[in-house]
Amino acid sequence: MKGTILTCTTAAALILAMLSSRPAAQAKTAASIYADKCTTCHGADGKGQTAKGKKLKVKDVHETVKKLTVAQMEEIVTKGKDPDMDAFGKELGADMVKQITAYYRTLADKK
């Protein structure tokens, strides 16, 4: 009986350790990463009407989705846009870049 309890405890500890060591980007949603990394310039609503967004002349999401394809937007998120937008491809990975781009594009559906 003692061996079984010890084994279960060890297994539980191992599972918790594995879960807590997952990369942070995988645990976060596209919306939460957008909120953390993009809203300073693009705004929570995607309109670019933040102080930094106005200074950098960030385009409204409604305009952007009309001018750029999904692939073009993913490339900008991946590689950045000199000199003002950092590249996020290495940090977030291709799948999350796709998710963030998709999330950003949904902001154009909102008024």
pLDDT digits (tens, 9 = 90+) for 37-93: 999 999 999 999 999 999 999 999 999 999 999 999 999 999 999 899 999 999 999
pTM for the complete prediction? 0.74
> Is 69 buried (19+), middle (13-18) or exposed (0-12) by CB count in 10 A?
exposed
CATH class of 25-109: mainly alpha
Cβ contacts of 35 within 8 Å, gap of 6 or more:
44
- Residue type present at position 105: R
Interior/surface letters 7-28, b for 16+ CB within 10 angstroms, e for the rest: eeeeeeeeeeeeeeeeeeeeeb
The pair of structure tokens assigned to 86 is 């950092």
